Chain A
Amino acid sequence: MRRREYLKTAGVGVAGLLTAGCLQVEDGEQTSTTAETTTTEGTTTGTTSESTEPLKIATYDSFFGDEGTAGRWLKDQWEADHDTEIEYTAPSNGINEFIQRKQQDAGIDADLFVGLNTPDLVRVDESLPDTDLFDGLRGDLDNDDDVKESLEVDPENRVVAYDTGYITPVYDSTEIEDPGTFDALLEPEYAGTLLAQNAQSSDPGLAFLLWTIHEKGPDGYLDYWEELLANDVRVLDDWQPAYNAFLEGERPMVVSYSTDQVYYNSEEELPHHQVSFLNDQGYANPETVGRFAGTDQPETAADFVDFVLTDEAQANVAVNNVQIPATTTASLPEGYAEYAKEPPEPVTFTYEELAGNLDEWTESWAQLVASN
């Protein structure tokens, strides 16, 4: 008898799973109020009162993962003074998820997106030519006058930078000397020394590629990379495996961030983590925040961004996120500023320079590397 029961239960399980607790039905009109983690069956209806609903911020995992992150600090400080709660989410494919949602009319269940860089913004606009994912947030801000000129990336004045990182090679000075220039990387003494990342899927990888295009020009960068590949550079999938291989002593140089020494500031560690500002530059990768068009609490969202741009928040976000502040007025704690290096000459591509070129540049580069 027990055996038969097992089979029956298993059979029922198949049908049961399909109907129990996994179906969501919503009114087609109310698409902006999906309840993403609920497992209840039924109709969700939305309300539009601005003060009671939490402010939903979509971002990346490490922005708010735990205590000591920039996101946590912002949430705690904000909630101490305001009635509105902050709720973070981290969609697994980042901004792409919202582009796809917009393309499919699937409704966007967030008010702000934190962590957008210039190439992301280009892709947003190229993928959504007829509709706006972000609205004109800048018009509603009061604190955005002090944002560094060099970090203004959006010609349409939608998004605003809240911090920036500089991509540079980090090298082990006990193994090799500072290459100093891009051309030096082609020399025999730097053969088999550099680890880079796939520009198609990794932010520092893309930044480094763009930096070489900035240096060598759209017509010259592929030749430069061909020589770089001939000098045995390796292109791994992401920053973490590349950096891990660097730590294991696999190669003495890795494409990383100029703030690396914040983590390795002891006397023994410092020689192993030297920042190389090639050609006295560093590629700036500003992180920006944008407000989703159609949010039902635009004012609260703008207030929050204004709060992020205050001097105190700027310093804390930069330190907790291990980046550099976006405003000219924010000052960093002394110990931190010493190790968070800034390049003599920050370079970056503007939105206009990337628009229309980004995908082709990356794909030609990737084809070159993969055919090698």
Chain B
Amino acid sequence: MDRVLGPAGREQLTRVTDWLSGAAGRLADDADRLVLPVVGTGTLLVLAVVFYYPVWTVFVEAFGDAAAPIRDVLESEFYVGAAHGLFAHPTQVPGDVLAWLASVRVHAGWTGRLPEVWVNYPTVRKGLFGFTAWQAFLSTLASVALGLPGAYVLARFEFPGRRTLKALTILPFVLPSIMVVAGFVATFGTNGTLNGVLTALGLEKVELLYTLKIVVLAHAFYNAPLVTRMVTSAWENVDASAVETARSLGASPLRAFKDVVAPQLLPALAASAVLTFVFTFMTFPIVLGLGGLQLATVEVWLYARVQQLDYETAAALATLETVVSLGLTYVYLRYEARRAGGGAGKPLPRDRLFDLDLTDLRSALVRAGIGVYGVVVVLVFLAPLVSMVLVSVGGLENPTLEWWRFLVERQAGSRTQPSVAVRNSLLFGVGALALALPMGVVIAAFSARGGRGRKVADAVLMAPIAVSGIVVGFGMLQSLVFGVELFGYRVSVVGAAVVVAAHAIAGYPFVVRNVTPMLAAVDDRLVESARALGASRARALYDVELPLVWPGVLAGAAFAFALSIGEFDATVLLAGENAYTMPVALKRFLVDRAAGPSVGPAAAMGTVLLVVTAASFVVIDRVGGRYRP
């Protein structure tokens, strides 16, 4: 403190003003210090009311009568395949395994030029769970294979419209499955676009529909953009100077990539792969729509059990399904903690995509590869979307504005008005975003600090992605919508605000998963310096860390918004008759008797949904990119 010179009265006054400004500062500090606990408590409260309690009401059912429902499922060959022996008659398992091994036949021979070896073994029944995991594994592989090159192109190349394209990668996420099924049939069906192209080229037609292949491809349609987005934002956060250092020390570009860049991409890649696995493990309408009941998953069965009001089996399936996906989340989180490291600073420079240097063979090959990738992207992503838009105008052969007129008629005082649906969707989306961002960032800050037991807590906080939509919806119906008896009063929680909270809960894990790896990579010393200089934890997070991880926050924000726009079940259950959103309107138009058996009206509404959300994502990206705290 400076010594105050001058008369005593003056000194007194200075002391008072000093104290006052100090108090104001302390007050601001207190507010700063309160931010994290308040947001944290709020997060837990929202989670408890809209998530944990409703889901709990479903799970308890599975543990009735000494967990008999769960035991029944585990002992059934239909559900767990060959593994049911482990639970049904564990003592026989070694014998069964030996018998199986004994029946394996290995043939070895010589063709004359090459050795010939093949193995004959009796098939092992996978059961519903085994098949579900198998298709999820294939779907994850396909999503990574389709998504990773996209991240490479978006992160490492500059071209006109790059940012818009990056913003639009989220679009498949919002599309209701019924439209995706329709689009996929039009694109990959027997008489679809793909076969049209193949026939024109004089090639054989391919039969994809109603096979596992098309289901896996549709899952990639939904989840490859997830991989692309998460890896792109990690790639953009890689510190160029570290790469330069490695290069100046004599590392080849490949070597520098392997040692410097790849370790920083891995957490994002693993995160997106785990999310994809969990999502496709819990998949439901796509499987039935494109593959049929022949390819049923656990979630398909769970839904059917709920429909038949067989709560015990449904709860048992839900519990086991959640154990699998939560377990995976936990494994991933442990892995992520070990992986995090490095720093953040200036981003890598981007090459110009369309600057083709023909003398440079490598660059030409890379661009040729990108060209091939572009064709695949157009077919997998663009074709289904375009076919939906085409359906809304009656297709190429019989163009009609009938379905758009239908929408306009509905606008004039009908039960479901398109413009109201658009407005509600946007309002819920913005609300969910405003709620999910602080929730996600606070949990990410908590989670990035690491420590023993933290990963368990973290997995619990991530639970909303690991619990199936059907379970959450069913739980909410039973607890929130029907209400709970409290002191002789029935308290029920419904309305727009709960819808927003439910959407935010679905969305915040994406903020967390996008932000945590980056936060963990921020140099601790930066935060410590800020704290040493008197900043509260919240202020350090806000002023120091957030600007460094902003791409991740933005990517998470887009997911939160997208999930809110595309959400159907919770919206229908909680919002009531009048707070309908775009997907709800689409569903209603789909069964509109006045339109007959046609997807036309739904396709028109789907096109509206597509345009509105595409515009919002571009806006989120532009505004969010400029606005950094």
Contact = CB atoms under 8 A, between A and B. Distances in A.
A67 B477 contact: no
A256 to B, nearest CB: 8
Contacts of B439: 14
Interface stretch (B90-98, B497-505, B524-532): B497-505
Interface in B29-84: 31-32, 35, 38-39, 42-43, 45-46, 49, 78
Contacts of A322: 593, 596
Contacts of A243: 597
Contact of B38 (A3, A11, A90, A96): A11
Interface stretch (A18-26, A45-53, A139-147, A340-348): A18-26
Nearest to A104: B482
- Specify which of B38, B43, B293, B431 lies most central, judged by the most chain A CB atoms within 10 Å of its CB: B293
A68 interface: yes
Contacts of B569: 92
B149 interface: no
B538 interface: yes
B293 A244 contact: no
A62 interface: yes
Nearest to A320: B593
B35 A7 contact: yes
B310 A359 contact: yes
Contact of A106 (B437, B482, B538, B577): B482
A322 B597 CA distance: 11
B497 A22 contact: yes
Given A250-B190, A370-B301, A31 B438 contact: no
Contact of B482 (A61, A69, A101): A101
B477 A65 contact: no
Contacts of A177: none
Interface string A304-336: 000000000000000011100000000000000
A80 interface: no
A128 to B, nearest CB: 10
A14 B45 contact: yes
A83 interface: no
Nearest to A39: B495
B189 A64 contact: no
Interface in A1-47: 3-4, 6-8, 10-11, 13-15, 17-18, 20-28, 31, 34, 36-39
Contacts of B182: 241, 244
Interface stretch (B248-256, B349-357, B409-417, B513-521): B409-417
A99 B42 contact: no
B416 A65 contact: yes
B308 A359 contact: yes
B379 interface: no
Interface residues of A, number: 86
Given A11-B35, A65-B416, A322-B593, A237 B289 contact: yes
A236 B288 contact: yes
A201 B307 contact: yes
Interface stretch (A153-161, A182-190, A361-369): A361-369
Contacts of A359: 308, 310
Interface string B465-488: 000000000000110001101001
Nearest to A273: B597
A14 B494 contact: no
Contacts of A100: 309, 477-478, 482
Contact of A66 (B577, B578, B594): B594
Interface string A275-297: 00000000000000000000000
A97 interface: yes
Given A21-B495, A68-B593, A100-B477, A235 B415 contact: no
Contacts of B165: none
A66 B35 CA distance: 49
Nearest to A17: B497
B110 interface: no
A343 to B, nearest CB: 20
A371 interface: yes
B189 A15 contact: no
B178 interface: yes
A17 B501 contact: yes
Interface in B266-319: 285, 288-289, 292-294, 296, 300-301, 303-304, 306-310
A244 B209 CA distance: 13
- Specify which of B32, B309, B579 lies most central, judged by the most chain A CB atoms within 10 Å of its CB: B309
A127 interface: yes
Interface in B384-434: 409-410, 414-416, 431, 434
Given A22-B498, A234-B210, A234-B294, A107 B596 contact: no
Contact of A104 (B310, B478, B494): B478
6 tightest CB-CB pairs across the interface, nearest first?
A14-B42, A237-B288, A106-B482, A200-B304, A37-B576, A22-B497
Given A15-B45, A36-B576, A372-B294, 6 more contacts: A23-B491, A27-B489, A34-B492, A123-B309, A198-B293, A370-B296
20 contacts: A4-B32, A14-B438, A17-B435, A18-B49, A20-B497, A61-B587, A62-B592, A63-B593, A68-B594, A97-B477, A99-B309, A104-B482, A123-B308, A201-B303, A236-B289, A244-B182, A260-B597, A363-B308, A366-B296, A370-B294
Interface of B: 28, 31-32, 35, 38-39, 42-43, 45-46, 49, 78, 128, 178, 181-182, 185-186, 189-192, 209-210, 285, 288-289, 292-294, 296, 300-301, 303-304, 306-310, 409-410, 414-416, 431, 434-435, 437-439, 477-478, 482-483, 485, 488-498, 500-501, 538, 542, 569, 572-573, 576-579, 587-588, 590-594, 596-597, 599, 629
Interface of A: 3-4, 6-8, 10-11, 13-15, 17-18, 20-28, 31, 34, 36-39, 60-70, 89-90, 92-93, 96-97, 99-101, 104-107, 123, 127, 198, 200-201, 229, 234-238, 240-241, 243-245, 247-250, 256, 260, 263, 320-322, 359, 362-363, 366-367, 369-372
